[in-house]
Each structure stands twice: as C-alpha cells, then as structure tokens.
Structure 1
C-alpha cells in the first residue's frame, strides 16, 4: 500500500471530514472509495469508447439493432 500526502484547503478538508463522519468511515476510507468510483467511471467510459469505435461506420447495422424488440 502507498501513502499519499494531499494538500487541500481547510474548508474542503472539513467538509470531507463531515461526509466521512456521516458515513461512519475515516477520511482515508472516503477518499479511497472516491478514487475507486472515479476509476470505475473511467473504465466504463473507456469500454464505451472502444465499442463506439468498433461500430463507427456501421450506421445501418446500428439502426437495425435499435428496431429490435
């Protein structure tokens, strides 16, 4: 595991601390969860872009798929 030092404005840190407290977790855990969500979002976007690129130029086929029930 890697230790990371992050500099945040005091007010932002206080808000994150409040959110963590409301969720019953540490600020460290909150930031870990936020990073996990951001990476999952990036992975989903990457998969979407790869699939979109594979389908580029196949407009007719795409429209056929949309017509299916």
Structure 2
C-alpha cells in the first residue's frame, strides 16, 4: 500500500471532511472511493476510444440518435 500526501485549499479540505462525515466514512476511505471512481471513468473512456477507432461512425451516430429519441420519449 502507498502513502500519498496531497495539498488542498483549506475550504476544499473542510468540504471533503464534511462529505466523509456525512457518509460516515474516514477521509482515507473517501479519497480511496473518489480515486477508484476516477480510475474507472478513465478506463471506460480508454475502452470507448479504442472501440471507436475500430467502429463505423455512421452506425455509431445512428445509435446515439436512437438513444436521444428513446431518452426524449421516456420523459
């Protein structure tokens, strides 16, 4: 396990402490969860970009249009 020291503005540190307290977890656990979320989002983006380079733009845009239509009709 690694140890990481970070510098944050005081107000941001206080808000993170309040968030951790609200969730009833430690600051360490909160930062671990936020880091995991960031890494997961990064991995998803990399996979999406890799697949996009192999894909067909016309089909991809058609799927996005379909999602937009489906989303608008579900409101």
TM-score, normalised by the number of residues in structure 1: 0.80
Q: Is residue 19 of structure 1 aligned with residue 24 of structure 2?
A: no
Secondary structure of 1:33's counterpart equals helix
Give the helix-richer structure, 1 or 2. Answer: 2
Pair member with larger Rg: 1
Match of 1:33 in 2: 33
Unaligned runs of 5+ in 2: 67-75
Structure 2 counterpart of 1:47: 47
| Structure 1 residue ranges, 4+ long, deviating more than 4 angstroms after superposition | none
Unpaired runs of 5+ residues, structure 1, are none
Q: Which structure carries more relative contact order (alpha carbon 8 Å, separation 6+)?
A: 1
How many residue pairs get aligned? The number is: 63
- In structure 1, what is the equivalent of residue 7 of structure 2? 7
RMSD value over aligned CA atoms?
A: 2.0
Shift of residue 9, structure 1, vs aligned partner? 1.0
Looking at structure 1, the residues matched to 27 and 49 of structure 2 have their Cα atoms a distance apart, in angstroms, of 33
